[in-house]
Amino acid sequence: MTSPSLIPRKTFFGNPDKTQVRISHDGRYLTYVGPHEDVLNLWLQPADQSKPAEPLTHDKGRGIQGYVWTYDNKHILYIQDQEGDENWKLFKINIETKKITALLDKKNVQMRFIGSSYKHPNSILIGVNDRVPQYHDIYLLDIETGSKKKIYENNSFVGFLIDDDLKIRLACKFTEDGGADWIKIKGKTEELYESFNSQDNATSGPLGFSKEGDSIYWLDSRNRDLAALTFSHFETKKTKVIASPEKTDFSDVAFHPTENTPLWLEEEYLKPEKSLLDSAYEKDFSYLKKLHKGLPTLVCSTLDFQKWIVAYSDDRGPISYYLYNRLLKTSQYLFSNNKSLENLNLSPMHSLEIKARDGLNLVSYLTLPAGLTQKSAKKIPTILAVHGGPESRDAWGYSSQHQWLANRGYAVLSVNYRGSSGFGKKFVTAGDKEWARKMHDDLIDAVDYLVSQGISDPEKIAIMGGSYGGYATLVGLTKTPDVFSCGVSIVGPSNLLTLIKSVPIYWKPILGSLKRKIGDPDTKEGLKLLKERSPLTYVDCIKKPLLIGQGANDPRVKQAESDQIVEEMKKKNIPVTYALYPDEGHGFVKPANRISFFAITEKFLADHLGGHFEPVGDDLKGSSLKIKEGAVS
């Protein structure tokens, strides 16, 4: 059924007005990523907004994915890949001449940022895997000339820790069982410095060096469940605990840009909470808390730390950005990230604690159609929205997916199942080798809770998600086919054996960790486990409608993962709708593609759950959509 009160899909899934908001290190300019000719491009504006913003880039493809200001305040560096292949290329913009120069633009080569420093404003460290694809050699790149000098040939390491002098001090090597060894690098000598086992590696690691370079800040969960913030002398290893979290791992640790001292911490259990470490900023936060509704978050600052970009997030509206002058204790409203979301009748997101069958607490989030409460909602068609990762988490705040589905008449539930990150090492490692078992049981327990409360209609429940969430959808329709009325799987793996054997080659160094989590194909027991936990093994069990979305260039969950389950369903005459996007990767970045898929999804859900829907109209036009199987009405 249609409804006149529907908020257009494009409001939820079109381009934001402004995102990735930054201020230059000298405070002269604001930059952000926003639409130019319907593609996300980089914009520049004087910080005092005395002149209108102007686009610096004119991309017509997947847009600008990320960027940084250089410390010389003359250049901006940004990255792009080729239609979702994640082989990141590096470009620079001279903000005076507006000239764009390719600094690294090689086919099938990936660039990674390693680090930069205000002490070396004309240089940056990058990693490049052009020698051997498994490892990134470290280069010192001259920003002005574009020349680069190899300073470390890497044959072992997956990560590096540098100091403010751009010197490599530590390097990380994953062990075969999923742990991590941090190796001290001094000239050509290498020696073991710190070691984390497979459990602690999930939540521990270095954050950075002190200003003097003689000490390191760590998050460390050894001998505890939640990772504490610690400070240790580099040579003596004498360590003190600065702060210990209470209910979750620290979700953010803010540091001074030049002093390298920790200023405040953030924990997020049901909702985010901040705690100050340095009382010198008490007046600032007191001021900012009163400035606007929602929790203030420091996005970035000038190098002297006197001007801050502060963002306020809310569950029922866009992100609001302010420019805060710490010296004067004044603020200037800049803009919101999406003006079309302002003053809409959006629904609150409710934070829940749901008990799993074995007593584990599952932090979850529920959004209901506008006007309904947990007490007044009765037998609402429900969408179980499963996050990817799985080492990620759902959090309280604005969710375009939650608001879109609630506006269509659905209850929307997101669950932090075991294996999700942020809730301590016991919780995240409780997901090891529990794919399609206890991790899925957690999802079912959460659904059963909503049914027991009378909120959800047990005959009208759908499951949907991307990446691991797509896999969970396939598991839901094969392992528990009577629970769900339909499913939507986006870039979801169907065969764990082919998934682990086809990971990007630059993931090879972390294969030990992946094997520990899902199973080792090099052992008889591991092979059995991978087959047993693969939805492809149980295609015969699918009896409810399934919609699959896939990016053809996805380097993580390759197209074969969707192709093979669709092929098996065809052989067995099981209906499926398969939407392929030739110019996308691990998720749908182009707005036309994103909107087209959610238009299909909206009609699919309405057909099988009976919710409201906005007619597809022309929302498929301009996308690269190819329907490989089934039909779209």
The neighbour count for residue 349, using CB atoms within 10 Å, is 24
Letter for the amino acid at 96?
A: E
The reply to whether 554 belongs to the active site is yes
Annotated active-site residue in 313, 320, 467, 623: 467
Q: Which two tokens stand for residue 249?
A: 């791992």
Q: Look at the block and give the residue holding tokens 């691991």.
A: 468
Distance CA 173, CA 633 (A): 51
Q: Look at the block and give the residue holding tokens 């205000």.
A: 118
Is there a contact between 413 and 368 (Cβ–Cβ < 8 Å)? no
Distance CA 52, CA 69 (A): 20
Distance CA 66, CA 33 (A): 9
Strand partners for 444? none
What string of DSSP letters covers 246-286?
SSS-EEEEEE-TTT--EEEEEEESSSEEEEES-GGGHHHHH
Residues in CB range of 417: below 8 A, 6 or more apart: 362, 386, 390, 431, 439, 440, 442, 443, 446
The number of angstroms, rounded, from the C-alpha of 58 to the middle of its chain's C-alpha atoms is 25
Q: What value, to the nearest 5°, has the Cα angle with vertex 243 and ends 241 and 245?
A: 125
Q: Look at the block and give the residue holding tokens 């002297």.
A: 304
Annotated active-site residue in 136, 387, 586, 612: 586
The neighbour count for residue 160, using CB atoms within 10 Å, is 21
Alpha helix ranges (H) inside 61-174:
none
Letter for the amino acid at 19?
A: T
DSSP E strands, 467-570: 486-490, 546-551
Q: Look at the block and give the residue holding tokens 């809409």.
A: 344
The reply to whether 467 belongs to the active site is yes
Residue 398's φ and ψ, nearest 5 degrees, are -70, 130
Please tell me what DSSP assigns to residue 8: P
Provide the 3-class DSSP secondary structure of residue 22.
strand
Distance CA 426, CA 413 (A): 24
Is there a contact between 42 and 320 (Cβ–Cβ < 8 Å)? no
Is there a contact between 255 and 261 (Cβ–Cβ < 8 Å)? yes
Residues in CB range of 191: below 8 A, 6 or more apart: 183, 184
Provide the 3-class DSSP secondary structure of residue 487.
strand
Annotated active-site residue in 85, 249, 457, 554: 554
Q: What residues act catalytically? A: 467, 554, 586
